[in-house]
Structure 1
Amino acid sequence: MAHRNQFQLLGSRRFLPFFTTQFLGAFNDNVFKSALMVMIAFRLAADQANALNNLAAGLFILPFFLFSATAGQLADKYDKSLLIRRIKLAEIGIAMLGVYALVSGSNSLSLLVLFLLGVQSAFFGPIKYAILPQHLRRNELVGGNALVEMATFVAILSGTITGTILFGLGDGDSSGIWWIGGVIIAVSVTGYLVCRQVPTAPAPVPELQIDLNPMRQTTRLLREIVKTPAIFYSIIGISWFWLLGAAYLTQIPSFSKNVLAGSESLVALLLCSFTIGVAIGSLLCERLSGGRIELGLVPLGAAGLTYGGIMLAVIGGNLAPLQEPSLLAFWHSAGAQAFLAHLVLIGIFGGFYIVPLYAMIQDRTEKALRARVISITNILNALFMVVSAILGIVFLNMLNFSIPEFFLVIALMNAAVAVFVFKKVPEFAMRFLVWLLSHTMYRVKHEGLEQIPDEGPAIIACNHVSYVDALLLAGAVRRPIRFIMYKPIYEIPVLHFVFRTGRAIPICSKQKDPEGYARAFEEIEQALNDGDLLCIFPEGQLTKDGELAPFKAGIEKILQRNPVPVIPMALRGLWGSFFSHKGGNAFTTLPKRFWSKVSVVAGKPLDATSARAANLQEEVLGLRGEQR
């Protein structure tokens, strides 16, 4: 049985060893990187330190451009658990070299180690996300991704803080360095021992020929990905989030020191606030989506990122420098708590934004290409983070913007990017409308939805109570549904956008539009041949009195052409809502019911020979019961 919540995955061997392995790896990378940055800052003059720190940041990102394409191919060609063990074994060697580099004080050797850690991360990246769909069920993907995203940000923050603190234990002398060395070697050895428990993840394409030319392989894959706009623009959305996050996180130390006159502890507080927000948002995704891959959360996340960024700019622009550089002084200063709250909000909405995108890419990408598609995602992530650094230089150094003004620019750019992506892939906006309806006006309960097949052609037959029946069904059923609906309902403003995006099939009577009627049946036949799940309201119109009207024989005609399973379903509790015809026509009075209980109930599938109109009506009536 599927896990009822994401935290139960932590008790499963399918997930826990991998989860722990990736956390320890990200933690170790950032312990070493932060220790190196502090060592450079303390041992060199300011101008030399800045140059080396920028070089260090570039050396850590460079391997993603050089090796991600190859890493994706290896992850598709070989067992991922075997690759993880080899990568973690290499980490032990890199950790030992890193200890020697820190103890010897060699900046060049330390930079080489940082580059090698970047190489290791570049090879681990495609495995990290491609292995989840192999070990988790479809309804566990959101929860699994949420835990991984939460752990990644926590590992980055805790590793950065740990490296800084450990270096300071000996006031910059060798004792602090030995502490750092002991930690990174211990963590790397622990990571290797844990990774040996990761279950096998067989190669989807063992016969794959490896192309070592990163430019050629990247270009070829991009051409393939662009053919599926939903996946391509989801990757763009993920990469944009990394640009956004890098822009905020890069400026927090400077904002804390130069604008607020705060100390290192203030930097840690602000970084913690953002990280806690991402962790909360990621974990909330599973609850808000009910375990399904809910793309409706992505527009909500984008809107929240824009709002949070604007408020961060407004509040940050009005913060006064501190009289003393203490956390207590900051906490009691005007606007400080609001600033922290909106930094947390940005993290929360960032979790809403990125988790469904990763889960959607994993779910919809062809198995044989999954790791290579993830590798392209990593390349674009690295590219967008470089662009983030360039934007910071342009706006802060060349155009002399203040940091709050830069935050405002980034927030407005986020709004523009969101509009662009959602225009290219209307499914995001459509799913948001569906999610909003089913989480505001109604409390939707589900019964028997496991009766609906996960794949293959099938038809849902349901009673028709209101203008939002299709939206509620689309929000309840995990699998995409194509609706066969009465043409005048299909053409209602706003709803038309949703139905058209969901590839609904409009139909009207043969007498009114013979050509349209024939065309609809041709489209229905093609959809079932393609393996789609269709939904029909056999009454042919909305109920006028709350009772089931006789089911029309159109479904029998469909089944004659395509004998597929039929799942009877019933909607309960919608009669009397703003969208139903109770008391007159729908939409004629103000809504009186909010957060009302609605049930979506599915029965056992019927084979094509049993699914006569009269039989279906009886089945649906039995499922609906007395609750209209």
Structure 2
Amino acid sequence: MQVHGPQERNHSVSEAASTPYPAPDAAANPPPGNQFALLGQRRFGPFFWTQFLGAGNDNLFKFAFTVLVTYQLHVSWLEPKMAGLVIGALFILPFLLFSATAGQWADKYDKARIMRSIKLLEVAIMGLAAWGFLTQNVVTLLCCVALMGLHSTFFGPVKYAYLPQHLSPRELTGGNGMVEMGTFVSILLGNVGGGLIMGLGAPGAKWAALACVSVAVLGWLVSLRIPDSPSSEPGLRLNWNPVTETWRNLKLASEYPSVFRSLLGISWMWFFGAVFLSQFPSFARDVLGGDAHVASLLLVVFSIGIAIGSLLCETLSHRSVEIGLVPIGAVGMSVFALDLYFASRGLSHAGVATLYTVSEFIHQPAHWRVMADLALLAFSAGLYSVPMYALIQLRARPSHRARIIAANNILNALFMIVSALAAGAMLGAGFTIPQVFGATALLNVVVVGYVFWLMPEYIIRLVMLVVTRFVYRLRVRGDEHLPTDGAAILVCNHVSFVDAVILGVISPRPMVFLMDHRIFKNPALGWFFRLCKAIPIAPQKEDPEAYEQAFVRAREVLANGDLLCLFPEGAITRDGQLQPFKGGIMKIIEGHDQVPVIPSALHNLWGSYFSRIDGAAMSRPFRRGILNHVGLVVGAPIAASDVTPERLQDEVRKLLAEPAP
């Protein structure tokens, strides 16, 4: 349902006119049965393994270097307790300085060529790092940390701009879920691998050098298989001033309200997650009494949780960009972070010489609750972040998509820096680590509540998700006929008070509804449709001004290139039968001869709680129990020039005669 502003809608019109969507490469590849099937396709598989190996190598190198300067080398000017902070700061600094330039490159040049060049740069950096490991030259290794940060800075915008160029909108959630899962698994494997290699003692540095170079070479070889990804704006003039370009990117992102607020939402997730990830070693040692392997166990639990949450997004969203999952994830992040505070506040092992091994740790019943909270917190973060990434890719203008992703990277880096400062300030003020977790959980409630207040579409989609997954069980056939961009009209039979809710959830983009003004007076549903900014229409004899204004607004929706839905019967059926279609649609399509009109039919809603069976709707709760199967069949589009009310009614009647999905 439409909730974004006029400026954002106008961007979508120009976008539809200039850049077809989905991209030809995506259209040439039919959507796979599930997200894992993408791994077997050239448009996704080589890209996935390239980014997987890159993220893993980043962390293998950083963790091996951290262990080297913490346990094996004694450098007077780099104390062990500061090594992790210095390495982390050097890695993230290029994101602040060069993300804006990286975004321009990704929009101007072929993304596959950029990725291959970046992977070749990684080979050179890891060659220098190998020399640093072999000679134990800390300055050289610190330089390599900054260079790998630069490598990741330039790879990030390309990575997320590549996906919508090769995946259809219905594959974006699954593709992003795979990328997020792969990223966290590779981070985990990189950290574990780096720790195991350096655990070999003196030979560890040699093996770390070999491993880093080998993974870099393998990543470059895999990148050669990535298909061409043509420039989205070849005429772009590069601005080499990182300050002015950073400001320009942030302003560009702010022109898309729903996109910019999603950027802020993702950046907040990184703020939130950084608080927990940065405290794992101290939390494991001083609160839980575990050794270094216990800290690794917590990282494993966290990574598995976020990987499962990311992968499950496609199943829960039925392969659409389902931002209704975001509020569920946000609530889970707060609930489980707060329970982590309660589960750990009575635990303290600071100053205790003997630490638990992993085996001893998991035999303590109290620790299972802690691990469950961490896993569910991370699972919720996966549900929270993946739909936001997909939303950004779907709604950002293709010619500016990489620069908007670059703006996201800038914001992520800033939020993570503020996160580190805030956590440090709380600990310096005498907060315990569990109290820091609890405060972050409460702050999460405030921040995401504000985001949802600014962008009620998240709550709207959540309501739709609940209705179609828990009140009813929706099955759909023919949804491929719904266009992912450009103006279109969806018409449907009108069976119940929740028809609009059910139709809205199957659309990959916002949908504007033209609805009888009386439904807005219903105390149970009126608030929801007002929140959705549906267009009320009154009979001409009853309110001529409101009648005409409804058609003006409906034509504006089409002029803006958006999706309009209406119920040509004019009212909810009282006998379960299809009523004659009124002629209002002919007035709406005047001057819009190229707009497709798409017939659809709702099955099995008659007789439900929200229908007017026996005269009154919503009079007998649980009339048919819960989890009733309902269906929607979407027909082939009809050119506006060929539309008549009678033909539309006949098409909908044929769809009703088909078996329910």
Q: Structure 2 length normalisation: TM-score?
A: 0.91
- Give the counterpart of 2:280 among 240, 252, 267: 252
Q: Which residue of 1 aligns with 2:522?
A: 492
Q: Show CA shifts across 1:279-337 (max 9, x none).
A: 00010001111111111111111111111111111112134659751223222213211
3-state SS of paired residue (1:583)? helix
Match of 1:313 among 329, 341, 354: 341
> Match for 1:25: what amino acid?
G
Distance 1:560-1:107 versus aligned 2 partners, 3 A rule = closer
2:465 aligned partner: 435
Paired residues for 1:399-548 under 5 Å? 399-493=429-523, 495-548=525-578
Superposed displacement of residue 611, structure 1: 3.0
Give the aligned partner of residue 4 of structure 2: none
Mapping 1:587-606, distance limit 5 Å: 587-592=618-623, 593-606=625-638
Q: Secondary structure at the match of 2:614?
A: coil
Q: Which amino acid aligns with 2:283?
A: F
Contact 2:285 2:355 in 1 (8 A): no
Aligned twin of 1:393: 424
Structure 2 distance, partners of 1:441, 1:30, is: 44
**2:468 aligned partner, one-letter code:** S
Q: Aligned partners of 1:334, 1:452: CA distance in 2, in Å? A: 52
Q: How does 1:156-555 map to 2 (within 5 A)?
A: 156-169=187-200, 171=201, 173=202, 175-319=203-347, 321=349, 325-397=356-428, 399-493=429-523, 495-555=525-585
Counterpart CA distance in 1 for 2:561 and 2:223 is: 39
The 3-state SS of whatever aligns with 1:343 is helix
CA RMSD in angstroms comes to 1.8
Show the counterpart of 1:38. Answer: 67
Structure 2 runs not aligned, ≥5 long: 1-29
Q: Which moved more, 1:414-423 or 1:496-505?
A: 496-505
Matched residue type, 1:603: G
User: Structure 1 475/94 Cα, relative in aligned 2: closer, same or farther at 3 Å?
Assistant: same
* CA displacement, residues 511-552 of structure 1 (integer Å, 9 cap, x when unaligned): 111111111111112222222221111121111121222222
Partner of 2:32: 3
Query: 8 Å contact 2:493–2:652 — kept in the other structure?
Result: yes
Q: Distance in 1 between matches of 2:657 and 2:412?
A: 52
User: Does the Cα contact within 8 Å between 1:40 and 1:53 map onto a contact in 2?
Assistant: no
1:12 aligned to 2:41?
A: yes
- Secondary structure of the structure 2 residue equivalent to 1:598: strand
Q: SS of the residue aligned with 1:335?
A: helix
Unaligned 5+ residue runs, structure 1? none
- 8 Å Cα contact 1:319-1:335 kept in structure 2: no
Note closer, same or farther for the CA distance 1:400–1:143 as it changes in structure 2 (3 Å cut).
Answer: same
- Determine the structure 2 residue equivalent to 1:139: 170
One-letter identity of the residue aligned with 2:148: L
In the alignment, the residues of structure 2 paired with residue 411 and residue 494 of structure 1 have an alpha-carbon distance, to the nearest angstrom, of 32
Q: C-alpha separation between the residues in 2 aligned to 1:560 and 1:362?
A: 33
> After the TM superposition, which of the residue ranges 351-360 and 603-612 deviates more from structure 2?
603-612
**SS of alignment partner, residue 490 of structure 1:** helix
Equivalent pair of 1:142/1:359 in contact (CA under 8 Å) = yes
**Inter-partner Cα distance in structure 1 for 2:365 and 2:241:** 55
Q: Distance in 1 between matches of 2:235 and 2:635?
A: 44
1:71 to 102, 108, 115: 102
Pairwise CA distance, 1:446? 0.7
Q: Give the whole-Å Cα distance in 1 for the aligned partners of 2:92 and 2:636.
A: 53
Q: Which has the higher contact order (CA 8 A, sep 6+)?
A: 2
Alignment of 1:27 with 2:60, yes or no, is: no
Alignment partner of 2:514: what SS? strand
Aligned equivalents of 1:23, 1:301: Cα separation in 2: 24
- C-alpha separation between the residues in 2 aligned to 1:154 and 1:603? 41
The one-letter amino acid paired with 2:285 is K
The aligned residue for residue 558 of structure 1 is 588
CA distance in 2: counterparts of 1:105 and 1:604, whole angstroms: 67
Partner amino acid, structure 1, of 2:578: L
Percent of aligned pairs sharing the same letter: 43
Alignment-mate amino acid for residue 586 of structure 1? A
The amino acid of 1:102's aligned partner reads F
Structure 1 residue 103 displacement after superposition = 2.0
CA positional deviation for 1:71: 0.8
Q: Could you tell me which amino acid in structure 1 is paired with residue 329 of structure 2?
A: G
User: Is this contact kept in 2: 1:27–1:155, CA < 8 A?
Assistant: yes
User: Which letter maps to 1:326?
Assistant: T
Matches of 2:629 and 2:346, distance apart in 1? 45
Alignment of 1:80-99 (within 5 A): 80-99=111-130
Task: Write the letter of the residue equivalent to 1:134.
Answer: Q
Alignment partner, residue 14 of structure 2: none
Q: 1:608 and 1:117, CA in 2 relative to 1: closer, same or farther beyond 3 A?
A: closer
Shift of 1:400: 0.9
- Secondary structure of the 1:150 match is helix
Name the CA distance, whole Å, in 2 between partners of 1:40 and 1:69. Answer: 32
The alpha-carbon deviation at position 583 of structure 1 amounts to 2.5
Q: Answer yes or no: is the 8 Å Cα contact 1:462–1:568 preserved in 2.
A: yes
The one-letter amino acid of 2:41's match is S
8 Å CA contact 2:261–2:451 kept in 1: the answer is: yes
Tell me which amino acid in the other structure corresponds to 1:66. L
Shift of residue 183 of structure 1? 0.5
In 2, distance between residues paired with 1:472 and 1:377?
32
**Counterpart in 2 of 1:124?**
155
Q: Is the 8 A contact 2:487 2:562 kept in 1?
A: yes
Q: Which amino acid aligns with 1:436?
A: V
Q: Is contact 1:304–1:346 with CA below 8 Å preserved after alignment?
A: yes
Take 1:158 and 1:459, find their aligned partners in 2: how far apart are those partners? 49
Q: Deviations over 1:357-393 (max 9, x none)?
A: 1111111111111111111111111111111111111
